[in-house]
Chain A
Amino acid sequence: MTYLLVAFLLATVVPLLVAAWRTSLVALGVQGLVMAAIVLEHGWPPHTASGWVLLLDLLVLRSYLVPRYLYGILRSQHAARRSDFLPVNLLSWTLAGALMVVAFHFGEAVCPEGGDAALHVSVASAALLLGLLVLATQHRVFAQVVGALRIENAIALFELAGGHTLPLPVQLGVTGVLVLSLLTFGAFMRRLGGALESPAAAAEGNGR
């Protein structure tokens, strides 16, 4: 399982370094695939209908539909190739590095037994904190959508560490919420486009 968690961590960090929206979407898909692989490593086939829904959620929705849907929107908007997800300065990189260190310390603190359990928590925490950092530092709608989806994936990864399963209607609800959230994110990307980038739009937002 260690190599899967390392792959998830790479999919979290690499898009911050590459700063291209395509890389970021591929990374979201990779995160979904890695999580599906973790589920399969726990046992194949899933024991319950709820387990199948979870697997489809990870394999179809998060791995393929999420990046594909956002890709279609950005293509239609002729988005520029470069897309920074962190401000390009030393402070941001130091902060990102510090958050990674904090995440790994947290993993060690709550899982003193170490091993995969600690790594699992550390990677999920790092993904969560970096997602929050992206959200806090970006004003573009697409970057904020990516930040929110990174957080969603971090939470999903963390949930895979537990042994609990949800009843089928609830698992369907959780997946349904992700589908509807994705459609809503897409609608905002279409309607707001780059509007939140412009200072004039921000100034307009202060009045009614």
Chain B
Amino acid sequence: MKRVVAALLPVAEAPAAGIAAGIRAVRPWAVTFFVAVAAAAAAASLGLAFGLPAATARTVAGGFLVLDATSRLFLLVVNLVFVGVATYLWTRVRDTPELQEGIERLVAFGLAFMAAVNLAILSNHLVAMWVLLELSTLAAVPLVQHGGTGVRLRASWKYFLFSSVGLGLALLGLACVARGLEASGVHEATFFLGDLARAARTPPEIWRKVGLVLIVLGYGTKLGLAPMYLWLPATYHAAPPAVTVLLAGVQFNVALVAVFRIIQVFGPSGRAVMAPELVALGLATMALSAASIVATRNYIRLIAYAALNHGGVIAIGLGIGAGYGVVLYAVSNAFIKAILFLTAGKIEAHYRTEDVREVSGLLKDMPYSGTFFAVGTFALLGFPPFGSFLGELIVMSGLIGSARFGVFAAFCTILTITFVATGRSVFPMIWGEPKRKVDWASQPVATVLPKLVFLCSLLAMGLYLPPQVNELFRQVAAGLGAE
């Protein structure tokens, strides 16, 4: 065997050298290609989102893909975030040796990740969606490792292991649901959304209940919900900022779409089963996030912990059926995390530290990044007039409306702690006196533009949503049981 390999080696060297030369030739254009694909994907998703009436739902590709309000809205969100990430890479790659090394690999896996994510959102089959979510996780592993440090390697291991187990539990949940449907007389359960919705009209029995609980636990892992949340801060902190945004602003939303699909398919009876679990996990996650925010002095970790908090709010909103608030909050959340993580990457590159005590006077030192960081923090904390404020308000009024006063009190207490702890760490960074020579880092328009678009979207969601966009939000919310 070894002889055969030795004989084949010279033959294999020629194409390998050709491939290496090809990669070297492609390298300067890789990120430009990445940006072009991102722009094309965003344009296509924009066309899909508003080219059809909001209530239209069409299946394509033999019924495996569905174009409905949920898929169209989230396609648009993730592809807008994708444009932000691609532009960030495009502007950073020239002066960041760490990014240049293996950039074509990062672009290749980034495109594979986005392909899997787009198909997962479009998927009309729950197991196919699970497969695509797994594929996006597999594509994200080398992305997290980019740069090759030991810390990133270990973070990617944690991410992969937690994801594998979480998605495994979700698959087990789907198998339990299928078994439950068969037990209640459905001849053969398929996982196509329409078929499942028809079959799920029967009252839930034990297998379906177990299945739904496992699905929430499984997909909850991808959303960073307790108890399997430990991977999230470690990965968001260790990964390159662009990759963190792909995980926090893109993959998070795909996992959320998977949960939306389950709620849409199983309706009020399914939500009644999942509600206590969603509320309990959401509250526990928020509490853990608040405690971690109090303890940390690292601003990237702080944003990661705040992302946990957002997952908790969304889980509680889903549990109580505050559909419109959840959709508003989830979309806002994607843009907030994109703004904050991308800006934090810039700040870290400028100051070479992640310690909040070492960064001061951002508004004077880095006016653009400082402004985005300040506004992003306000949106993160749920201040008006951003969409996150309105989303949180709807969730809170839902808690009052459903007479969950204990949960409401805990929710408000945790939010207050989060607000105080975040402000204590972040506000001196923004408004303090600069600790070093004021140096206005150059900011190409291309870096600022996507963040500006995200910021305008956040404001629009809080102040005025154009009727077409609002109708899309309403359609998604209606599927989640919102009134």
Instruction: List the interface of chain A (C-beta within 8 A of B).
Output: 110, 128, 132, 135, 141, 144, 148, 151-152, 155, 158-159, 161-167, 169-170, 173-174, 176-177, 180-181, 184, 188, 191-192, 195-196, 201, 204-205, 207-208
Chain B, residue nearest A124 (CB): B172
Residues in A whose Cβ lies below 8 Å from that of B207: 110
Residues in A whose Cβ lies below 8 Å from that of B131: 170, 173-174, 176-177
**What are 25 A-to-B residue pairs whose CB atoms are below 8 Å?**
A110-B210, A141-B157, A148-B161, A148-B164, A148-B165, A151-B165, A162-B178, A162-B189, A163-B188, A164-B190, A169-B64, A170-B127, A170-B131, A177-B138, A180-B135, A181-B138, A188-B157, A191-B153, A192-B157, A201-B154, A205-B151, A205-B234, A207-B151, A208-B237, A208-B354
B238 at the interface (CB under 8 A from A): yes
- Taken together as a complex, chains A and B put the C-alpha atoms of A207 and B301 apart, in Å, by 11
Chain B, residue nearest A178 (CB): B134
- Residue pairs across A and B with CB atoms within 8 Å: the count is 92
List 20 additional A-B contacts (Cβ < 8 Å) besides A181-B138, A205-B234.
A110-B206, A110-B207, A148-B161, A148-B165, A148-B168, A152-B168, A161-B179, A162-B179, A162-B182, A163-B188, A164-B189, A164-B190, A167-B125, A169-B128, A170-B127, A173-B135, A201-B154, A204-B150, A208-B238, A208-B354
Shortest 4 CB-CB contacts between residues of A and residues of B? A173-B131, A177-B134, A159-B175, A164-B178
- Taken together as a complex, chains A and B put the C-alpha atoms of A169 and B61 apart, in Å, by 12
Is A144 a contact of B161 with CB atoms below 8 Å? yes
Residues in B whose Cβ lies below 8 Å from that of A195: 150, 154
Instruction: List the interface of chain B (C-beta within 8 A of A).
Output: 64, 125, 127-128, 131-132, 134-135, 138, 141, 150-151, 153-155, 157, 160-161, 164-165, 168, 171-172, 175-176, 178-179, 182, 188-191, 206-207, 210, 234, 237-238, 354
Residues in B whose Cβ lies below 8 Å from that of A158: 172, 175-176
Residues in A whose Cβ lies below 8 Å from that of B190: 164
- Taken together as a complex, chains A and B put the C-alpha atoms of A163 and B272 apart, in Å, by 27
- Known interface pairs A148-B161, A155-B171, A167-B125; A204-B178 also in contact (CB < 8 Å): no
Quote the shortest CB–CB distance from A194 to chain B (angstroms). Answer: 13
Query: Which of B141, B160, B175, B176 has the most A CB atoms < 10 Å from its CB?
Result: B175
- Taken together as a complex, chains A and B put the C-alpha atoms of A151 and B165 apart, in Å, by 8
Is B160 a contact of A184 with CB atoms below 8 Å? yes
Contact of B160 among A176, A188, A207 (CB under 8 A): A188
Chain B, residue nearest A183 (CB): B138
- Taken together as a complex, chains A and B put the C-alpha atoms of A169 and B154 apart, in Å, by 33
Quote the shortest CB–CB distance from A58 to chain B (angstroms). Answer: 15
Residues in B whose Cβ lies below 8 Å from that of A181: 134, 138, 164
Is B165 a contact of A135 with CB atoms below 8 Å? yes
Residues in A whose Cβ lies below 8 Å from that of B168: 148, 151-152, 155
Chain A, residue nearest B178 (CB): A164
- Taken together as a complex, chains A and B put the C-alpha atoms of A158 and B191 apart, in Å, by 17
Where chain A touches its partner, the secondary structure class is helix
Contact of A192 among B141, B154, B210 (CB under 8 A): B154
- Taken together as a complex, chains A and B put the C-alpha atoms of A148 and B160 apart, in Å, by 11
- Taken together as a complex, chains A and B put the C-alpha atoms of A196 and B160 apart, in Å, by 15
- Taken together as a complex, chains A and B put the C-alpha atoms of A173 and B138 apart, in Å, by 13
Chain A, residue nearest B205 (CB): A110
Quote the shortest CB–CB distance from B295 to chain A (angstroms). Answer: 13
- Taken together as a complex, chains A and B put the C-alpha atoms of A192 and B141 apart, in Å, by 14
Quote the shortest CB–CB distance from A188 to chain B (angstroms). Answer: 5
- Taken together as a complex, chains A and B put the C-alpha atoms of A175 and B160 apart, in Å, by 18
Chain B, residue nearest A149 (CB): B164
Quote the shortest CB–CB distance from A46 to chain B (angstroms). Answer: 15
- Taken together as a complex, chains A and B put the C-alpha atoms of A85 and B61 apart, in Å, by 45
- Taken together as a complex, chains A and B put the C-alpha atoms of A174 and B7 apart, in Å, by 37
Contact of B125 among A110, A163, A170 (CB under 8 A): A170
Residues in B whose Cβ lies below 8 Å from that of A205: 150-151, 154-155, 234
Residues in A whose Cβ lies below 8 Å from that of B191: 166, 170
Residues in A whose Cβ lies below 8 Å from that of B176: 158
- Taken together as a complex, chains A and B put the C-alpha atoms of A176 and B127 apart, in Å, by 13
- Known interface pairs A110-B206, A141-B157, A180-B135; A204-B175 also in contact (CB < 8 Å): no
Residues in B whose Cβ lies below 8 Å from that of A148: 161, 164-165, 168
Chain A, residue nearest B354 (CB): A208
Is B164 a contact of A173 with CB atoms below 8 Å? no
- Taken together as a complex, chains A and B put the C-alpha atoms of A33 and B127 apart, in Å, by 24
Query: Which of A165, A166, A176, A201 has the most B CB atoms < 10 Å from its CB?
Result: A166
Chain B, residue nearest A159 (CB): B175
Residues in B whose Cβ lies below 8 Å from that of A201: 150, 154
- Taken together as a complex, chains A and B put the C-alpha atoms of A177 and B139 apart, in Å, by 11
Is A170 a contact of B160 with CB atoms below 8 Å? no
Quote the shortest CB–CB distance from B270 to chain A (angstroms). Answer: 18
Residues in B whose Cβ lies below 8 Å from that of A188: 157, 160
- Taken together as a complex, chains A and B put the C-alpha atoms of A168 and B35 apart, in Å, by 34
Is A155 a contact of B154 with CB atoms below 8 Å? no
Quote the shortest CB–CB distance from A192 to chain B (angstroms). Answer: 6
Chain B, residue nearest A155 (CB): B172
Query: Which of B138, B151, B155, B168 has the most A CB atoms < 10 Å from its CB?
Result: B168
- Taken together as a complex, chains A and B put the C-alpha atoms of A166 and B239 apart, in Å, by 35
- Taken together as a complex, chains A and B put the C-alpha atoms of A73 and B99 apart, in Å, by 30
Quote the shortest CB–CB distance from B119 to chain A (angstroms). Answer: 10
Residues in B whose Cβ lies below 8 Å from that of A132: 165
Contact of A163 among B141, B182, B206, B354 (CB under 8 A): B182
- Taken together as a complex, chains A and B put the C-alpha atoms of A191 and B149 apart, in Å, by 11
Chain A, residue nearest B63 (CB): A167
Residues in B whose Cβ lies below 8 Å from that of A176: 131
- Taken together as a complex, chains A and B put the C-alpha atoms of A110 and B182 apart, in Å, by 14
Residues in B whose Cβ lies below 8 Å from that of A165: 188
Quote the shortest CB–CB distance from B129 to chain A (angstroms). Answer: 10
Quote the shortest CB–CB distance from B158 to chain A (angstroms). Answer: 9
Quote the shortest CB–CB distance from B123 to chain A (angstroms). Answer: 10
Is A184 a contact of B141 with CB atoms below 8 Å? yes
Is B165 a contact of A208 with CB atoms below 8 Å? no
Residues in A whose Cβ lies below 8 Å from that of B164: 148, 181
- Taken together as a complex, chains A and B put the C-alpha atoms of A198 and B190 apart, in Å, by 47
Residues in A whose Cβ lies below 8 Å from that of B171: 155
